[in-house]
Structure 1
Amino acid sequence: MRRFVPVLLIPLLAGCGAQVAAPAGDTVTVARCGEQVEYRMPERAVAYEGGSADKLFALGLTDHVLGYVMPPANPPVTESPYAAEYAQVEMLSDDLLNRELVVDARADLVVAGWRSGFSDERGITPALLDGLGIQSAMHTESCWNYPGFPERVPPIEGLYEDLRRLGAIFRVPERAAALITDMRARIAAVEAAAPDGQIPVFLYDSGTERPATAANQVPPTDIMRVAGGRNILADVDGRWTDVGWETVVERRPEVIMIMDYGTQSAEDKIAFLKSLPALRSVPAVQNDRFFVLDYNEAISGPRVIDGAERFGAYLRGLA
């Protein structure tokens, strides 16, 4: 078990120009991917991307959130159902998560995903933050290839587990339990109403030479499944990946799910796909069956449930 030892001041890496006080007090042991970690009660949490922040806000933890880091790909927080909560905390950066930002903010907890926020290449990992006395929590669905402590959980189950773990870390387990119960009921209703069969679905994220898309370890694959669909790339072990257009043609999706984010609009993405000669034989293109999924419905967070409900209604409408 990794222990966070309370000390008065923890020296930080050279050049960071700040020190972090480690508060004393009781700890609670909670899993971080496959590792058991002791957590102090956080008071200055930093969230990376909408999914992390939304989880904290959905649990009523706004008062414990210092701020958020929101890269440009994320839609404006003013469009979020948690817009009022975002307005109460600080936007720390509109770039990628980095160590200096977290240190300068005197964060005592960072919530992000493995290789979605935390990154060996960019020099910000849970292990490195442990050495600085800064706690971290990771999205369970991103843990499948976390070095040393992997954990494989289906994405929607991972969302529930994240809420349960954050509820334990922040000492509000009853809030987490109530929220999970509500989400499970909503997903069960989507599954109960799903059309018979598994409609083949392809997610288009971006890309021209090779499309970026979803493999089996990200929320859209679960959204498709509970709604009555099947990701045509569910046999690809990974999170976000890319394939050749010939694979899309061979697997003949009946629906194309469009990831709505970035500088290219969903309408422009649809127009591009319709313009590709290679896709003219694909049933989804022939029948003009495109569904637009919001960015925050596609990453681990409470809005995944909204995405499942919306996609379920869309597939039922095709019957």
Structure 2
Amino acid sequence: MKYFALTVVLALTACGADVAGDGAADTVTVNRCGEPVAYTTPREAVVYEGGSADKMFALGLAEYVRGYVMPPANPPVTESPWASEYAKVDFLSDDLLNKELVVDVAADFVLAGWNSGFSDKRGITPEILDGLGVMSFMHAESCFNYPGHPERWTPFEGLYTDLTRLGRIFGVPDRAETLVGELKARVEAVKAQAPVGEPVKVFLYDSGTEQPFTAGSQVPPNDIIRFAGGENIFAGLDERWTQVGWEPVVEAAPEVIMILDYGDQSAEEKIAFLESSPMTRELPAVVAGNFFVLDYNEGISGPRNVDGVERFGEYLRGMKG
């Protein structure tokens, strides 16, 4: 079991999070992708991308965030439900997460996903940070392909697991339990209203022209689609984000195309490509104009996944109505 000896005393304020309620830095053991790790209450967290930041902000932990790293493909933080929380912390970089940044800002905790933040190739992994005395935590949903520590969750269960574990690490387990309960209740309300009959066939279009990039069963859009009453045409792929051919898309004849909105190519440009390409322009979804735009931060692991399922549920009910 990894152990980090960090002793810092927290000065609590009336409006702040009640972290380690006795004023001391508590130590708890929490799984990190199947590996039990002993955490002391972090004080200077670095978070990578919107999903990580949102999890912290939704738990009321902004004052324990040193800053965030946000690559330019992400939507502007001013569009976030937690825009006011982003404004309270430092914008550290619009580059990919790297070890030098973590050291330079004297971070004691890093929150990111495997291959989305943490990377062997870029030399920033939990093991490397362990050696520097910096705690780290990986999104449970991303543990699917983390080597050596197998841990597997469906995407939304991974979200709930992360919030619960972060609640323990930061000494706010009751707050985490309440938040998870609220998110689950919202999801159950969508499921209860899902259209009856055969699920609507849905194709998630991320990007790509020669070959499309899409969502397998191990990323949040798969759960968003099925909870709302649809069926991801690539739900049978035991993958996260993955490349496929256009032929299986054509064979599946999707009735709705979900567009993941991010990066240099706008959702409107992606739709224009699908409407003009000989491979896709005759798809039922394209002919009917059934496009649903999913915000990037609704599609990666974070509390806004629930916003995505609510919006898509409303969309499908409108189609069926």
TM-score, reference length from structure 1: 0.93
Please report how far the alpha carbon of residue 279 of structure 1 lies from its aligned counterpart in structure 2 after TM superposition: 1.5
Q: What corresponds to 1:203 in structure 2?
A: 204
Cα 1:267–1:6, aligned 2, differ >3 Å: closer, same or farther? closer
Q: Per the alignment, in what secondary structure is the counterpart of residue 279 of structure 1?
A: coil
Paired residues for 1:1-319 under 5 Å = 1-6=1-6, 25-196=25-196, 197-319=198-320
Q: Which one-letter code corresponds to 2:116 in the other structure?
A: S
Instruction: Give aligned pairs, total.
Output: 304
**Distance in 2 (alpha carbons) for counterparts of 1:279 and 1:112:** 35
Q: Is the 8 A contact 2:274 2:281 kept in 1?
A: no
Q: Deviations over 1:104-125 (max 9, x none)?
A: 1110100000111000011000
Q: Per the alignment, in what secondary structure is the counterpart of residue 88 of structure 2?
A: coil
Please report how far the alpha carbon of residue 6 of structure 1 lies from its aligned counterpart in structure 2 after TM superposition: 4.9
Q: Per the alignment, in what secondary structure is the counterpart of residue 317 of structure 1?
A: helix
Runs (4+) off by over 6 Å:
none
**Distance in 2 (alpha carbons) for counterparts of 1:131 and 1:67:** 22
Please report how far the alpha carbon of residue 271 of structure 1 lies from its aligned counterpart in structure 2 after TM superposition: 0.8
Q: Per the alignment, in what secondary structure is the counterpart of residue 72 of structure 2?
A: coil
Q: Per the alignment, in what secondary structure is the counterpart of residue 188 of structure 1?
A: helix
**Distance in 2 (alpha carbons) for counterparts of 1:61 and 1:181:** 18
Q: Per the alignment, in what secondary structure is the counterpart of residue 316 of structure 1?
A: helix
Please report how far the alpha carbon of residue 5 of structure 1 lies from its aligned counterpart in structure 2 after TM superposition: 3.9
Q: Is the 8 A contact 2:203 2:258 kept in 1?
A: yes
Q: Which one-letter code corresponds to 1:251 in the other structure?
A: A
Q: Which one-letter code corresponds to 2:267 in the other structure?
A: A
Q: Is the 8 A contact 2:5 2:40 kept in 1?
A: no
Cα 1:25–1:179, aligned 2, differ >3 Å: closer, same or farther? closer
**Distance in 2 (alpha carbons) for counterparts of 1:63 and 1:26:** 17
Q: Per the alignment, in what secondary structure is the counterpart of residue 73 of structure 1?
A: coil
Cα 1:6–1:81, aligned 2, differ >3 Å: closer, same or farther? closer
Q: Percent identity at matched positions?
A: 67
Q: Per the alignment, in what secondary structure is the counterpart of residue 92 of structure 1?
A: strand
Cα 1:48–1:288, aligned 2, differ >3 Å: closer, same or farther? same
User: Structure 1: 5+ residue runs without aligned partners?
Assistant: 9-23
Q: Deviations over 1:1-28 (max 9, x none)?
A: 22224599xxxxxxxxxxxxxxx95410
Instruction: Compute the RMSD of aligned alpha carbons.
Output: 1.3
**Distance in 1 (alpha carbons) for counterparts of 2:208 and 2:26:** 49
**Distance in 2 (alpha carbons) for counterparts of 1:77 and 1:114:** 22
Q: Which one-letter code corresponds to 1:212 in the other structure?
A: F
Q: Which one-letter code corresponds to 1:269 in the other structure?
A: K
**Distance in 2 (alpha carbons) for counterparts of 1:318 and 1:25:** 52
Please report how far the alpha carbon of residue 283 of structure 1 lies from its aligned counterpart in structure 2 after TM superposition: 1.0
